[in-house]
Amino acid sequence: MASSETIEPAAGVDGPTWVYDFADGSRGMRALLGGKGANVAEMTRLLGTGRIPAGFTITTSACVAFLGERPHAYPEGLSRQVDAAVARLEEAAGHRLGDPRDPLLVSVRSGAPESMPGMMDTVLNLGLGDRSVEGLAERTGNARFAWDSYRRLLQMYANVVHGVSGERLEAQIADVKRDCGAALDTDLDVAALRELARRFKALYREHTGEEFPQDPRVQLDGAIRAVFESWEGERAVHYRRIHGMPDDIGTAVNVQQMVFGNKGETSGSGVAFSRDEMTGAPEPSGDFLLNAQGEDVVSGMRNTQDLADLVRIMPAVHDELIGALRTLERHYGDMQDVEFTIEEGRLFLLQTRTAKRHAQAAVRFAVDAVAEGLLDRERALLTVDPSTLDALLHQTIDPAFGGAPIATGVAASPGAAKGAVVFTAHAAVEAAARGEAVVLMRPFTEADDVAGFHAARGIVTSEGGKASHAALVARGMGRPCVAGVASLDIDVEAGEVRLKATGEVIARAGDLIALDGSSGAIMTADVPLVDPPQNACFDTVLGWADELRRLGVRANADTAADAARARSFGAEGVGLCRTEHMFLEADRQPGMRALILAESDEQRAAAVARLLPVQQADFEALFDAMAGLPVTVRLLDPPLHEFLPGLTELEMQVERERAAGDAGLADTERLLERVKALHESNPMLGTRGSRLGILHPGIYEMQARAIFRAARTLRERGAEPPQVEVMLPLIAYEREIELMRALVERVADEEAFDRSELSIGTMIELPRACVIAEQIAGHADFFSFGTNDLTQTTIGFSRDDAEKALLGAYLDAEVFDRSPFETLDTPGVGRLVELGCEGGRRARPGLKLGICGEHGGDPDSIAFFHAAGLDYVSCSPFRVPVARVAAAQAVARELVAAEPSAASSAAGSAPIAAVSAAPSSAPSA
């Protein structure tokens, strides 16, 4: 076979190097060794071979070569190299694989360059057999440990390597437990474990037609082949496709010596953080258990000891651990979370990864890391997960409170709230007027309920998810919201909330309810709420972000209160004021209805005259709150029937009134006629946006007039007006924007508003607008991508409808892994956004480009908008700090990529460059 070896140009006399000992690899060899292999090698390199259980990695190239053979087969040289690596491992560990008296045990794990689902699970304790299990029992003096290890190997091997169903295996455990009266797995004695091993072997034989292999080397080859094969498993293939990852990379295989923390009182297992993961305080924290394995620590079945106790019990081990934590943190340039095992007084580190941390810890670490000279500002900013920052702006449940929720739903809008239950927006408004704190509970919400959102402290729904109406409106206002609490029956008619499962009534109108929109918890207890503290570290991080980012950050705000809050969160203007919300307020709706139902020019004029001053007052307040900053006012967008009663409701009313001979019948019938005429089978694709402006110019004229008068009034009062930007919604054709722009300009002239101070632009929210952006840009001073509607039309998903069943089913079926309404669908919608940007800038190089959909507050989407060359994002007020940080991170990533090892702004000793994610996992016993 010498000829095949000569094909590989880099190969030595033994052909390509398929196997690397941990001691010979490093972080830079991720493509060849996979993420796990490269990281365990890096730890070995950093901390020395003695601290990391020894082992070796079979390369991704070996996997590719294996899968390239027909039938699949080890490439030339691999078997020989595995033999050699096993021999080296045996030497280092001082045991032999398969030694009947003192067997070396190993774990086998997959490890692709990027982690992905569907890859083979871990096989532990590999190396045991019918004889060596007895040897292990004897050598450790712990027969239960030995047999438990063996039955675990049998179970995992049968399941993972040969596909015996997990349920069938678990059923055996249940059987044996029943037979010997054991309640828990840990109650099983040696005899029961022996019986279990026998049964697993029988199952193995039945399933494979062969005996369980007693030869550890055969076990090892089986596990290695299973890892290789899992690269082509269905889930992994789908995952790569969704994420645009190539198929010809392959996965590595990691073989590592097992260590045991359950060998007596000088052994133990634990987890440790390099700093406090809640506060960010610079002292390491953690938990451990003596004479225990790692899974005992995380299972929570035994009460763990604080890491500080270790200094007393095993001071040397403690110091060694602290030293290792510092080394790792310094090396990876981020807080680390480490799993460790102490085997008979000797410390082994099994895994290190970037620590998950609370927002408070995140900002503190970033600030401290720069002060300590550990990181420069760009890299420090990149350690903060912006999606957690919301938590620093809202009230929360006192962490000291330990009550359990009675139900849990979707964490739809962060923050905690409590109050008396109300079931209607009307009741919420009335109670709020009396100064009462209320929580609005509804099966789902609609446009009519928005007034209730303002009045309530929090919102709970039993239907819908993160993109439901309730969630969107609540996030926009910063109201805590838990949506889709499927276990609750919110019965508005009966005025009670019941548990679906039992029918038990948990609250009636007026009863206290509490919700945590950050966790999705619903409680009936009077939970203590705490305000978010002043946070100097957060302010520092935001200050850095503002210096660094190129994207502007504005807020979507419909009221002066929202605008003022947004400004306090750092918004640089209003990117979207939805004027329709103004007409849904109780005092506006009659005027709007009168306008829609007007049958003569006089009636129409009267209705306009009634609405104009109200609308003007709205704008005055909003403009005042945003003095000097840009404010984008979108003219009326939704179809008119949203301001009228529902069709079904009216038809039933007519029927009732007819039966009762009601005097109001004629009026109701006329209203019904109008509602029927305006009824649309697909309102999302109907007469709305600028189409309304073309069919019913009176409404847009009134709105434009109110805008210009409000600005003038402010100026006359001596107040600074904002930079007024009038936005025309739902433009698909050049002629539409031309007509509507002419209308707005005419009203501006009539109101003596200086045209040079007026900016007129459009939402780009239809695929056609993206495709013909060049033509539209000829009439637009700015584009604002309305990515909510653009997502709906591009994918053909009505958000309301998709929420009902489709999104969940699609996540399950792996059509996508995040809702396109949460994170921008970049290959589809994103491509159209890019086309829109390119076309717009081709026609008008200085065209201002923004985005005002929900995606404006989503960090991943913000990174895309940065790359697409937009000028600003606009998001709900509470997302403004998130967006500021995410926008800065987009720049920081560019800078770091350009200068991967340079420190640009940190003071003190040379900071360490470590931006690509720290290792996410490594072996644990």
Contact of 582 with 588, CB cutoff 8 Å = yes
Q: Which is nearer to a copy of itself, 562 or 637 (CB)?
A: 637
Closest distance to a copy of itself from the beta carbon of 698 (Å):
14
Q: Choose one: 101-109, 363-371, 824-832, 904-912; the region binding a copy of itself (CB under 8 A).
A: 824-832
Residues 828-867 close enough to bind a copy of itself by CB under 8 A = 828-829, 831-832
Does position 686 interact with a copy of itself (CB under 8 A)? The reply is: yes
Does position 685 interact with a copy of itself (CB under 8 A)? The reply is: yes
- Cα–Cα distance between 781 and 353 in angstroms, integer? 48
Interface with a copy of itself (CB under 8 A), residue from 298, 647, 665, 719? 647
| Residue indicated by tokens 């038990």 | 504
Q: Choose one: 39-47, 280-288, 507-515, 731-739; the region binding a copy of itself (CB under 8 A).
A: 731-739
Closest distance to a copy of itself from the beta carbon of 580 (Å):
16
Number of Cβ atoms within 10 Å of the Cβ of 348: 23
- Cα–Cα distance between 517 and 529 in angstroms, integer? 13
Closest distance to a copy of itself from the beta carbon of 694 (Å):
6
> In degrees, to the nearest 5, what angle opens at C-alpha 582 toward C-alphas 581 and 588?
120
Closest distance to a copy of itself from the beta carbon of 733 (Å):
5
Closest distance to a copy of itself from the beta carbon of 647 (Å):
6
Interface with a copy of itself (CB under 8 A), residue from 38, 450, 455, 802? 802
User: Strand order in 458-461's β-sheet?
Assistant: 407-408, 521-523, 512-516, 416-422, 438-442, 458-461, 481-483, 410-413
Closest distance to a copy of itself from the beta carbon of 695 (Å):
5
Does position 443 interact with a copy of itself (CB under 8 A)? The reply is: no
Strand partners, 576: 556
Interface with a copy of itself (CB under 8 A), residue from 494, 627, 815, 897? 815
- Cα–Cα distance between 569 and 878 in angstroms, integer? 7
Q: b vs e for 8-35, b when ≥16 Cβ sit within 10 Å of the residue's Cβ?
A: beebeeebbbbbbbbbebbbebbebbbb
Interface with a copy of itself (CB under 8 A), residue from 91, 547, 655, 754? 655
> Could you say which of 95, 331, 454, 469 is catalytic?
469
Residues 532-591 close enough to bind a copy of itself by CB under 8 A = none
Contact of 340 with 272, CB cutoff 8 Å = yes
Interface with a copy of itself (CB under 8 A), residue from 23, 437, 512, 739? 739
DSSP 479-539: --EEE--TTEEEETTTTEEEETTT--EEEETT-EEEEETTTTEEE-S---EEPPPP-HHHH
Contact of 89 with 108, CB cutoff 8 Å = no
Interface with a copy of itself (CB under 8 A), residue from 633, 732, 747, 760? 732
Contact of 406 with 524, CB cutoff 8 Å = yes
Provide the CB-side half-sphere exposure for 268 (13 A, CA).
21
Task: Determine which helix (DSSP H) or strand (DSSP E) holds 88, and give its type and residue range.
Answer: helix 78-93
Strand partners, 498: 489, 505
Closest distance to a copy of itself from the beta carbon of 172 (Å):
29
Residues 223-252 close enough to bind a copy of itself by CB under 8 A = 238, 241-242
Site string for a copy of itself, 758-797 (x = CB under 8 A): -------xxxx--xx--x-------------x--xxxxxx
The phi, psi pair for 130, rounded to 5°, reads -55, -35
Number of Cβ atoms within 10 Å of the Cβ of 262: 23
Does position 735 interact with a copy of itself (CB under 8 A)? The reply is: yes
Q: Choose one: 280-288, 321-329, 510-518, 813-821; the region binding a copy of itself (CB under 8 A).
A: 813-821
Does position 823 interact with a copy of itself (CB under 8 A)? The reply is: no
Q: Which is nearer to a copy of itself, 478 or 839 (CB)?
A: 839
Q: Which is nearer to a copy of itself, 125 or 792 (CB)?
A: 792
Is 852 a known active-site residue? yes
Does position 698 interact with a copy of itself (CB under 8 A)? The reply is: no
The phi, psi pair for 460, rounded to 5°, reads -130, 130
Longest dimension (CA), the chain: 103
User: What tokens appear for 751 in the block?
Assistant: 């109101």
Closest distance to a copy of itself from the beta carbon of 684 (Å):
4
> Could you say which of 481, 537, 577, 852 is catalytic?
852
- Cα–Cα distance between 113 and 32 in angstroms, integer? 8
Q: Which is nearer to a copy of itself, 652 or 902 (CB)?
A: 652
Provide the CB-side half-sphere exposure for 84 (13 A, CA).
13
Name the residue among 528, 526, 544 with its Cα closest to residue 536: 544
- Cα–Cα distance between 109 and 254 in angstroms, integer? 5
Does position 598 interact with a copy of itself (CB under 8 A)? The reply is: no
- Cα–Cα distance between 234 and 224 in angstroms, integer? 18
Total number of residues that touch a copy of itself (CB under 8 A): 61
Q: Which is nearer to a copy of itself, 255 or 473 (CB)?
A: 473
Q: Choose one: 58-66, 391-399, 651-659, 886-894; the region binding a copy of itself (CB under 8 A).
A: 651-659
Does position 661 interact with a copy of itself (CB under 8 A)? The reply is: no
Q: Choose one: 222-230, 349-357, 538-546, 681-689; the region binding a copy of itself (CB under 8 A).
A: 681-689
Residues listed for the chain: 925
- What are 401-405's contacts with CB under 8 Å, separation 24+? 401/527, 401/528, 403/523, 403/525, 403/527, 404/523, 405/516, 405/519, 405/521, 405/522, 405/523
Q: Choose one: 95-103, 107-115, 447-455, 810-818; the region binding a copy of itself (CB under 8 A).
A: 810-818
- Cα–Cα distance between 736 and 692 in angstroms, integer? 11
Interface with a copy of itself (CB under 8 A), residue from 121, 168, 733, 838? 733
Interface with a copy of itself (CB under 8 A), residue from 555, 730, 760, 847? 730
Q: Which is nearer to a copy of itself, 69 or 649 (CB)?
A: 649
Interface with a copy of itself (CB under 8 A), residue from 652, 660, 666, 902? 652
Strand partners, 348: 341
Number of Cβ atoms within 10 Å of the Cβ of 202: 12
Does position 658 interact with a copy of itself (CB under 8 A)? The reply is: no
- Cα–Cα distance between 35 and 29 in angstroms, integer? 9
User: Mind telling me the catalytic residues?
Assistant: 469, 852
Q: Which residues bind a copy of itself (CB under 8 A)?
A: 238, 241-242, 647-648, 651-652, 655, 677, 680-687, 691, 694-695, 730, 732-736, 738-739, 765-768, 771-772, 775, 789, 792-798, 800-802, 804-806, 809-810, 813-816, 825, 827-829, 831-832
